[in-house]
Structure 1
Amino acid sequence: MKNIVYVSTAVKLMHENQLLDILHNSRQHNAALSISGVLLYSEGTFIQVLEGRDSVIDALYARIQADQRHKNIIKLIDEPITEKSFAQWLMGFAVTDAAKTEKLLGYLRSVNELDLNSSNSGTINAIKTFIESNGLDVK
C-alpha cells in the first residue's frame, strides 16, 4: 500500500459545477478500487492525497497527470504506508468559497475533521501546510 501527495494548478479557475463533477467521479472510481484520500482546492491550486494499493495509485496518478484541467503537477510524496491517514474518506474535499457546496456529503466543514493531529507523517504535514498557506478555515 502507498500514498501519493501532489499539488497542481488549475488551467483556469474552477467553478462549483466543475469541482462537483471531479468529486462525483472521484468518489465512484475510488469506491470501486478502495482508494481513499482528500482533495483541497484554493484559488486555482489543488493538493491531493491518494491512498491505496501501489499499482492502483500509480495508475490513477498517471491518469491525473494526463488530465487537461490542471498543469504544473508536482509530486510531493510517493511512499509506502502501513495504514491510511484518510481511510474514512473516499474523497474528502474542501474549497475556500464553499457556501453552496458545504451541504454535500464529505464536505469538510472544518479541517479538524481530517484528524491531522493523529500522525506526524510527511503526508499530514503537506496537508497542514496547504491549509495554513491558503487560509482554509480551521474551526
Structure 2
Amino acid sequence: MKNIVYVSTAVKLMHENQLLDILHNSRLHNAALNISGVLLYSDGTFIQVLEGKDTVIDALYSRIKADQRHKNIITIIDEPIVEKSFGQWLMGFAITDSKKTEKLLGYLTSISELDLNNDNSPAVAAIKTFIETNKLDINY
C-alpha cells in the first residue's frame, strides 16, 4: 500500500460545477478501487492525497498527470504506508468559497473531520501546511 501527495495549478480557475464533477467522478472511481484520500482546492491550487494499493495508485496518478485541467504538477510524497490516514474518505473535499457544496457527502466543513491531530504522517503534514498557507475558511 502507498500514498501519493501532489500539488498542481488549475489551468484556469475552476467553477463550482467543475469541482463537483471532479468530486463525483473521483468518488465513483475510488470506491470501485478501494482508494481513499482528500482533495483541497484554493484559488486555483489543488493538493490531493491518494491512498491505496501500489499499482492502483500509480495508474491513477498517471491519469491525473495527463489531465489537461491542471498543470505544474509536483509530487510531494510517494511512499509506502502501513495504514491509511484518510481511510474513511473515498474523497474528502473542500473548497474555500462555496456554501452550496456543504450538503455534499464528504464535504469538509471542518478540518477536524479528517482527524489530522492524531496522525503524524507526511501526507497529513502536507495537508496541514496547505490549509495553514491558504488560510482555508474551514475550522481547524
Q: Normalising TM by the smaller chain, what interval? A: over 0.9
What letter corresponds to residue 54 of structure 2 in structure 1? Answer: D
1:72-83 pair list within 5 angstroms: 72-83=72-83
Matched, 1:61 2:57: no
Equivalent position of 1:70 in the other structure: 70
Equivalent position of 2:139 in the other structure: 138
Q: Equivalents in 1 of 2:133, 2:121: separation in Å?
A: 18
Greater displacement, 52-61 / 98-107: 98-107
1:11-30 pair list within 5 angstroms: 11-30=11-30
Gaps of 5+ in 2: none
Q: Equivalents in 2 of 1:138, 1:70: separation in Å?
A: 27
Equivalent position of 1:91 in the other structure: 91
Q: CA deviation at 1:98?
A: 2.1
Q: Equivalents in 1 of 2:26, 2:109: separation in Å?
A: 19
For the aligned residue pairs, the C-alpha RMSD in angstroms reads 0.7
Structure 1 residue runs of 4 or more that deviate by more than 3 Å after TM superposition: none
Equivalent position of 1:3 in the other structure: 3
The C-alpha deviation readout for 1:51-101, integer Å capped at 9, x for no partner, is 000000000000000000000000000000000000000001000012111
Normalised to the residue count of structure 2, the TM-score between the two structures is: 0.98
Identity %: 80
1:103-118 pair list within 5 angstroms: 103-118=103-118
Equivalent position of 1:122 in the other structure: 122
- Secondary structure in 2 aligned to 1:48? strand
What letter corresponds to residue 17 of structure 1 in structure 2? Answer: N
Q: CA deviation at 1:16?
A: 0.4
